[in-house]
Amino acid sequence: MKKAGVKLALIGAGELGSRHLQALALLDRPATIEVFEPVLTAQGKAEARFAQIKQSGRVSVKFLSRMEDFSPFLDLAIIATTADARLQALEQLLAEKNARYLILEKVVFQDVKSFDKAQRLLSRKKVKAWVNCPRRMWPFYQELKPKFNGEKIDYRASASNLNLGSVAVHLLDHLSFFTGEYDYELSSERLDPDILLSKRPGFREFTGTLEGRLAGGSAISITSYREGNAPFLIQLSTQSLRCLIREPEGKAWLAEEGDGWQWQEIPFKALAQSQLTHLAAAKILNSGESELPTFEQSREIHIPLLKTLTAHFSKIINQPVSACPIT
């Protein structure tokens, strides 16, 4: 008898969701991927991207017109909607279906109350969830992490038009990955006193510098220059190490005290989402564990970020707001 494959769900197959779909085409076992994407143009693009992947024939995809049409039991669901729609998608999915595991895209939600509601729902349904901050899965950063050896890290990231509101949680999680700490104190004092329209319709963005500190003494600054074309740069410094990473160019340099502070260019490769999701899914399905941050860990990072950006947004528009319009 042919072994039944795993059942996977993908909610949202837009720009990022379609990349998740491409990766899932490479899954190492028989699987059916059920996809709900209400925008027909996005669905068409997702179908085309799935077809671009050379497949083993073990993975099939089925596009659904309603969330109610998902299978009753799902081994893993990925919710890749925008942040403002994610809680509703989560609530509807778990009200009608049983899912063993979840991966949530980030920014997960736009307000603290949504995290509280989701936490209670996941606990009640006994669903284990992770948040997709995938730098933790990149081999370069996994190999770099032991070199910090518990030292305080000064983490600086900068670029022109960085999309700070959207990207900040990735970079805060990056430092948390290196340190194992999550208790951030953040400051908006050096953010610019205005708000920009995001490239994603209906959302907003910030420029300037977001600063933060962890209880253990590590510090972070994330800068988005509103003009120019400064490339994305990450600078990591400790008492005994310096590392510069230019991710988009695939370049990195390392200097260590033990080597006389001699700079060495070292191999670096940034991995796209279409190269990662099947690996994350396989590990979750095999062991119930993941290299991604847990929902609880990511919640600890999101909450100070949302509180800081929401307060800044409220100050700029001079009226109270309950949610931060980022995704």
The continuous run of DSSP H or E covering 95 comes out as helix 83-96
In a shared domain, residues 118 and 159 = no
In a shared domain, residues 139 and 264 = yes
In a shared domain, residues 15 and 98 = yes
- DSSP per position, 187-256: EEEEE-SS-EE-SSTT-EE--EEEEEEETTS-EEEEEEESSS-PPPEEEEEETTEEEEEEGGGTEEEEEE
The answer to whether residue 90 is domain-embedded is yes
In a shared domain, residues 165 and 288 = no
In a shared domain, residues 18 and 85 = yes
Judge residue 294's burial from the number of C-beta atoms within 10 Å of its C-beta, 0-12 exposed, 13-18 middle, 19 or more buried: middle
DSSP bridge pairs for 77 = 9, 102
The answer to whether residue 327 is domain-embedded is no
Q: Which CATH number is 123's domain given?
A: 3.40.50.720
* Total H helices, total E strands in the chain: 8, 16
Residue 113's identity, in one-letter code, is K
The answer to whether residue 318 is domain-embedded is no
Predicted pLDDT at 302: 98
In a shared domain, residues 79 and 21 = yes
DSSP bridge pairs for 267 = 251
In a shared domain, residues 253 and 148 = yes
In a shared domain, residues 128 and 147 = no
In a shared domain, residues 128 and 161 = no
Residue 170 near residue 106 (C-beta atoms within 8 A)? yes
The answer to whether residue 301 is domain-embedded is no
Provide the 3-class DSSP secondary structure of residue 92: helix
- pTM, to two decimals: 0.96
Q: Which CATH number is 183's domain given?
A: 3.30.360.10
Predicted pLDDT at 4: 62
Predicted pLDDT at 1: 36
Predicted pLDDT at 3: 47
Query: Torsion-angle region of residue 318: left (phi > 0), alpha (psi -120 to 50) or beta?
Result: left
In a shared domain, residues 76 and 168 = no
In a shared domain, residues 90 and 167 = no
Provide the number of structural domains found in the chain.
2
The answer to whether residue 321 is domain-embedded is no
The answer to whether residue 323 is domain-embedded is no
| Tokens encoding 114 | 């949504």
Tens of each residue's pLDDT in the chain, 327 residues:
354 699 999 999 999 999 999 999 999 999 999 999 999 999 999 999 999 988 778 999 999 999 999 999 999 999 999 999 999 999 999 999 999 999 999 999 999 999 999 999 999 999 999 999 999 999 999 999 999 999 999 999 999 999 999 999 999 999 999 999 999 999 999 999 999 999 888 899 999 999 999 999 999 999 999 999 999 999 999 999 999 999 999 999 999 999 999 999 999 999 999 999 999 999 999 999 999 999 999 999 999 999 999 999 999 999 999 999 999
For residue 38, what are the domain limits? 6-134+275-293
- DSSP per position, 124-183: HHT-EEEE--GGGG-HHHHHHHHHHTT---EEEEEEET--HHHHHHHHHHHHHHHH----
Residue 77 near residue 98 (C-beta atoms within 8 A)? no
| Tokens encoding 210 | 């977001």
In a shared domain, residues 189 and 98 = no
Residues 6+ apart with CB under 8 A from 310: 111, 321, 322, 323, 324
Predicted pLDDT at 83: 98
